[in-house]
C-alpha cells in the first residue's frame, strides 16, 4: 500500500488538466497580445511625434533668429523635404527665391553631418538642424513654412522615403488628417507610423 500511494503521488498532470492549462494560456495570450501590440504602437507614435516636435521647435528657433537678426524670412507657403541617413542630413525643395533677401538660407550643400563646427548653422536651416537635432539618426521629414512660421512637420522614423501620402499644408491648417484609413492618429492603415507637429487628429471619412 505504501508503494502504491508513493507511486500515485508522483503521477503528472492528467490529460484533462493539461487541456485546461493550455486553454487558460490561450485565453491569457489572446488578452495580452493585442494589449502589448497597442502599447508598442502607441510608443512608436509618441516617439515619432516627439521627433516631429523637435524638428518644428529647432526650425522655429532658426526662422525667428533669421527674422530678427538678419531681417529675412520665407514668403508664401513653401515645402521642403529633409532626409536623415545615420546622421547625414539632405534636403530637396526650397531655393533662394523663397527668401525675401534672395539668399538661400535652406541649404547650399548636398549633405550635412552633425558637426558642430559648420559655420553655416547660423545662416542655413539644414546645417542648423544637423547640429541642434543630433539625436535624430534616420528619418524622412516634410516641412511647410510660411512667413517665418513653421506651418507643420511630419516625420517617418527609420525611413528614407515616404511609404504613404503625407499631410499637406491644408491638413496642418485644419489640424486633422485621414491617416490613410488608419485606426488612430499617427498610424496608417498599412502600419506606417507618422509623427506630426502640431499633432493632427484623426478624421474619419463617413462615406
192 has pLDDT over 80: yes
C-alpha grid cell, residue 148? 517665418
- Is there a domain that residue 77 lies in? yes
pLDDT digits (tens, 9 = 90+) for 30-57: 776 666 667 888 999 999 999 999 999 9
Phi, psi of 87 (to 5 degrees): 90, -5
- Is there a domain that residue 44 lies in? yes
- Is there a domain that residue 126 lies in? yes
- Is there a domain that residue 165 lies in? yes
pLDDT digits (tens, 9 = 90+) for 134-176: 889 999 999 999 998 999 999 999 999 998 899 999 999 999 9
Report the C-alpha gap between 138 and 16 in whole angstroms.
Answer: 53
- Is there a domain that residue 4 lies in? no
Instruction: State the residue range of the domain holding 34.
Output: 10-202
Q: What is the pTM of this model?
A: 0.82
Specify the range with the lowest mean pLDDT, choosing from 5-9, 51-55, 109-113, 192-196.
5-9
- Is there a domain that residue 90 lies in? yes
Number of structural domains the chain divides into: 1
Tell me the mean pLDDT in the region 67-85.
Answer: 95
Report the C-alpha gap between 142 and 131 in whole angstroms.
Answer: 18
- Is there a domain that residue 207 lies in? no
Which bin fits 15, alpha (ψ -120 to 50), beta or left (φ > 0)? alpha
Task: Catalogue the long-range contacts made by 172-181 (C-beta closer than 8 Å, 24 or more residues apart).
Answer: 172/144, 172/196, 172/198, 172/200, 174/203, 175/200, 175/201, 176/200, 176/201, 176/202, 176/203, 177/201, 177/202, 177/203, 178/202, 178/203, 178/204, 178/205, 181/205
- Is there a domain that residue 2 lies in? no
Amino acid at each position: 500500500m505504501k508503494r502504491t500511494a508513493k507511486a500515485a503521488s508522483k503521477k503528472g498532470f492528467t490529460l484533462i488538466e493539461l487541456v485546461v492549462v493550455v486553454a487558460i494560456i490561450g485565453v491569457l495570450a489572446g488578452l495580452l497580445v493585442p494589449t502589448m501590440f497597442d502599447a508598442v504602437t502607441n510608443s512608436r507614435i509618441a516617439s515619432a511625434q516627439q521627433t516631429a516636435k523637435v524638428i518644428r521647435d529647432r526650425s522655429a528657433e532658426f526662422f525667428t533668429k533669421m527674422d530678427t537678426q538678419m531681417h529675412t524670412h520665407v514668403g508664401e507657403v513653401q515645402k521642403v523635404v529633409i532626409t536623415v541617413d545615420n546622421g547625414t542630413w539632405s534636403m530637396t525643395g526650397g531655393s533662394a527665391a523663397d527668401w525675401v533677401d534672395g539668399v538661400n538660407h535652406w541649404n547650399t550643400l548636398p549633405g550635412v553631418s552633425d558637426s558642430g563646427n559648420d559655420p553655416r548653422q547660423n545662416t542655413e536651416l539644414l546645417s542648423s538642424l544637423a547640429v541642434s537635432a543630433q539625436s535624430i539618426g534616420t528619418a524622412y521629414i516634410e516641412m511647410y513654412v510660411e512667413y517665418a512660421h513653421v506651418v507643420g512637420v511630419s516625420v517617418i522614423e527609420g525611413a528614407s522615403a515616404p511609404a504613404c501620402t503625407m499631410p499637406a499644408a491644408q491638413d496642418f491648417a485644419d489640424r486633422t488628417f485621414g491617416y490613410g484609413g488608419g485606426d488612430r492618429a499617427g498610424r496608417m492603415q498599412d502600419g506606417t507610423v507618422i509623427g506630426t507637429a502640431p499633432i493632427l487628429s484623426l478624421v474619419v471619412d463617413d462615406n
